[in-house]
Chain A
Amino acid sequence: MKELLKKLVLCYGPAGNEEVIRDCIIEEIKDFVDDIKVDVLGNLIAVKRGVGKKVMLAAHMDQIGFMVTHIDEKGFIRFSRVGGIFVQNSINSKVVFRDGLVGVVSYESEIEDIKDIKLDKMYIDVGTNNREETEKLVKIGDVAVYSSGFAESNGRYIAQAMDDRAGCALLIETAKRLKSSPHEVYFVFTVQEELGVRGAKTSAYALDPHIGIAIDVTLTGDTPKSKLMAVKMGAGPAIKVKDVLIMAHPKVKELMITRAREAGVPYQMEILEAGGTDAGAIHLTRKGIPSGVLSIPTRYVHSDCEMIDSGDMENGVKLLLKILEEEIEF
């Protein structure tokens, strides 16, 4: 799964610009599913046909980014954020545009206190000398993404866009290993999650599944003087209890716990006090869809060095496989 994950996190795909990452995922999954389609907003929907329950698994393929809004006389680029870009994570970080153009994010240096830096006081330097040179390379509306590359350290993976390419990798791996399921399983790679779980809304509406499970990253409380949170990296995939957008459906939550125990997969319960996932959109669709979330504990979320544990990924796949292989009784 490491090579797959590496490939996915190095793919370009900020929210609203999921073409490249979508093509990459299609290549990876096409031999393991019965049908693939792309909907109006750009969600990738891959299905393994079956006669049982319609199960929607959703991982978002978009990542956060920096959108060009203005190019100044000297060629520096002003930007707006696409999703949750934060000042403290952006200062002097390397970013890359779709075509490979590299830039550095920095700030107006007359600002003395780091607390006074706002995104609109920041810019991207692509090494050009004037507006004309920059305009040949980028235009307003182009989006850059973090670009720190992929690394492994002590069984942990480090890269930009683990949120939520880790979820995408988990879904692809599950599709590859799933031999048979009594269910009709939809592997949905959604768009624009980072802009407000938008792709999940339309795809869930179209599929109208019996159950929805989002696979996404979550925060941890296991670093020095971190905010209080029970989730630890490496302690197994997390089963969501609640976040800002959802109270996980009790039956889905119980199903996940039961199958984790049966499969001997370590797991932990998760309560996330900030943020939400695609399940937030799915569960409110149409007449209501029982939904839950399988989370991958992740440190430094929305930075260019998000860290996850390889064991959590492996156990995440095992848990999903167990859920899909057994009956779902509701």
Chain B
Amino acid sequence: MDELLKRLTEAHGVSGDEGEIREILKQEVTNLADEVSIDRMGNLIAFKKGTKGGKKLMICAHMDEVGLIIHTIAENGTLKFSTVGSIDSRVLISKKVKIGKKKHTGILGLKAIHLQEPDERKTLVKSKQLYIDIGARSKDEASKLISLGDYAAFDTEYLAFGQNRIKAKALDDRLGCSILLDVLKNRYPYDIYACFTVQEEVGLRGAGAAAFNIKPSMALIIEGTTCSDVPGVDEHMRSTRLGKGPAITVMDATSYSNKEMVNRLVETAIKENIPYQMKESVTGGNDAGAIHISGEGIKTAVVSVPCRYIHSPNSVADMNDYYSTSRLVEAFLKGCE
């Protein structure tokens, strides 16, 4: 498991540039599915025929991640960028990124503390003020390595640490991708369409097209979601808690989960003795937002692995939650007949 999660989380796949992660997932999924295809938007779709058939179930995880895109090469050889997906500028400072297909190393520099005025130390640095230093001395030198529109992804390593915990970038939503691979090892009563979607982080763009095309009778979205179970945060503002099992969403900013599906998820968890938690916040959105209003409407629900510090170079998850989520999704799919 460690080896696969390491490959999935360290691979690049900033929204709009999912080629590398898609290729890895395609290789992994080919032996598990009956058919594998890539649609016009770039979504990777694995089909697994059901033992009974009759209905189509969509399971969905997005393969893209937040990152940066280069928009200017300055005269002095540094790079200006835009963020792709929502990133707090504070998590960018002094971080290392890898840029473009050739993965050139870049550093997000910040003026040393010695040189900062007292006021500067107190103000929040915006990502517009930041730049990437690739060690180039001039625009000409930088232009030989970097093209406008090159993407940059966080350069951090996957690491298992503590008791069954992991840290990596892009746990949102490579954990979901990995769970799709897990559950595809089995065959289920209904036909399964496992969708690894693109461009979720820039507005749920891939999932709508996939759902419109597949027209499933229901869709289950597997996510990595917010978790703020840390000191200084009021109990009611924590969203989810690490180690308490998969988080089931009632409502978030982009969809209201189908109640039959939510009830079935809860009943399945209880029956299978899988720990679970109800997500205690309604912020954030995911592919369900695009899927549920596709065509004449599609039933959706969302189950998530809690992840601390998402949308940063280092998020943290508990592998017990991961395995519980995987078991819950599998049991849910087995129970749909």
Contacts and interface: CB of A to CB of B under 8 A. Distances in A.
Interface stretch (A150-158, A195-203, A228-236): A195-203
B32 interface: no
A78 interface: yes
Contact of A205 (B237, B250, B296): B296
Nearest to B277: A140
B38 to A, nearest CB: 26
Contact of B256 (A15, A43, A201, A206): A15
Interface string B169-195: 000000000000000000000000000
B299 interface: yes
A43 B286 CA distance: 23
Contacts of A195: 251, 256
A202 B282 contact: no
A70 B236 contact: yes
Which of A15, A43, A70, A140: most chain B Cβ within 10 A? Answer: A70
Interface in B244-286: 250-251, 256, 262, 278, 280-283
Contacts of A23: none
B296 A78 contact: no
B235 A70 contact: yes
Contact of A80 (B235, B278, B281, B292): B281
B298 interface: yes
Interface string B295-321: 111110000000000000000000000
B296 A69 contact: no
Interface in A10-56: 15-16, 39-41, 43
A16 B296 contact: no
A16 B280 CA distance: 17
Contacts of A43: 297
B302 to A, nearest CB: 12
A141 interface: yes
A43 B296 CA distance: 11
A16 B256 contact: yes
B282 A69 contact: yes
Interface string A259-285: 000000000000000000000000000
Interface residues of A, number: 24
B281 A40 contact: no
Contact of B235 (A72, A139, A202, A205): A72
Contacts of B296: 39-40, 202, 205-206
B200 to A, nearest CB: 18
B256 A80 contact: no
A69 B279 CA distance: 8
B293 interface: yes
A72 B236 contact: yes
Contacts of A140: 250, 278, 280
Contacts, number: 57
Nearest to B252: A80
Contact of B250 (A141, A192, A198): A141
Contacts of A206: 296-297
A120 interface: yes
A246 interface: no
B297 A80 contact: no
Contacts of A211: none
A40 B298 contact: yes
Interface in A171-207: 192, 195, 198, 201-202, 205-206
A76 B102 CA distance: 55
A82 interface: yes
A132 to B, nearest CB: 16
B288 to A, nearest CB: 11
A201 B293 contact: yes
B297 A67 contact: no
B297 A39 contact: yes
A105 to B, nearest CB: 15
A16 B251 contact: yes
Contacts of A202: 293, 295-297
A195 B285 CA distance: 13
A146 B29 CA distance: 50
B280 A69 contact: yes
Nearest to A73: B235
Contacts of B256: 15-16, 192, 195, 198
A198 B300 CA distance: 13
A141 B281 CA distance: 10
Closest 6 CB pairs of A and B: A141-B250, A16-B256, A202-B297, A70-B236, A78-B236, A40-B297
30 contacts: A15-B256, A16-B251, A41-B293, A41-B297, A67-B250, A67-B251, A67-B282, A69-B280, A69-B282, A70-B236, A70-B280, A72-B235, A78-B236, A80-B281, A80-B282, A80-B283, A82-B251, A82-B282, A140-B250, A140-B280, A141-B250, A141-B251, A141-B262, A195-B251, A198-B256, A198-B292, A202-B296, A202-B297, A205-B296, A206-B296
Interface of B: 235-237, 250-251, 256, 262, 278, 280-283, 292-293, 295-299
Given A40-B298, A70-B236, A201-B293, 5 more contacts: A16-B251, A67-B250, A69-B281, A70-B235, A205-B295
